[in-house]
Each structure stands twice: as structure tokens, then as C-alpha cells.
């Protein structure tokens, strides 16, 4: 079981956000079961979601909101309703 927590590093006071290629790679890891879940920080949620909703199997991803605004994503065998 692999659980990936995605934290974005701050460099010289500037935040480096997740880019589209990184997000697609994270989603692919969930699809292939290389990763069981990923945690996305609240600051990255909108960028992450904008890529996720364009995926053809979007309904197979479940996001579980956490205290503090982070979201844990998992891939489901069956699409959610």
C-alpha cells in the first residue's frame, strides 16, 4: 500500500503550485493502483480539480475533505453516482 501526500514547497517566499503534467501523473498513479491515495493541499485544490474534471473517468475519483481544507483522493472501481 502506497499513500502519497502532496505538499508544495515554498521557495524564497513564493509558492510553487502543482502544474498540469504533475497533476495528470498523480491521477495516473491512482488509476494504475501505484498509489492508494493522494492528499492535495487546499491551496492546490482548484488547480487540481480543474484538471480532474476533464478526465474521462472523473466519476471514478473520490475526494474526501479534511479539516484545514486538504482533500484526500482515491480511485474507485465503480464510478460514484
- Distance from C-alpha of 34 to C-alpha of 11, rounded to nearest angstrom: 29
- Check residue 16 and give its pLDDT: 60
- Check residue 81 and give its pLDDT: 82
The domains of the chain are located at 3-75
Cell of 15: 509558492
Long-range contacts, 3-6 (Cβ 8 Å, 24+): 3/35, 3/36, 3/37, 3/38, 4/29, 4/35, 4/37, 4/38, 4/39, 5/38, 5/39, 6/38, 6/39, 6/40, 6/41, 6/44
- Check residue 80 and give its pLDDT: 87
Residues listed for the chain? 81
pLDDT tens per residue across span 6-64 = 554 444 555 566 889 999 999 999 999 998 999 998 888 999 999 999 999 999 999 99
Amino acid at each position: 500500500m502506497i499513500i502519497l501526500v502532496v505538499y508544495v514547497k515554498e521557495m524564497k517566499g513564493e509558492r510553487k503550485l502543482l502544474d498540469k503534467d504533475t497533476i495528470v501523473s498523480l491521477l495516473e498513479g491512482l488509476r494504475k493502483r501505484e498509489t492508494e491515495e493522494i492528499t492535495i493541499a487546499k491551496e492546490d485544490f482548484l488547480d487540481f480539480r480543474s484538471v480532474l474534471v476533464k478526465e474521462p473517468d472523473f466519476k471514478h475519483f473520490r475526494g474526501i475533505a479534511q479539516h484545514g481544507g486538504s482533500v484526500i483522493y482515491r480511485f474507485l472501481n465503480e464510478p460514484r453516482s
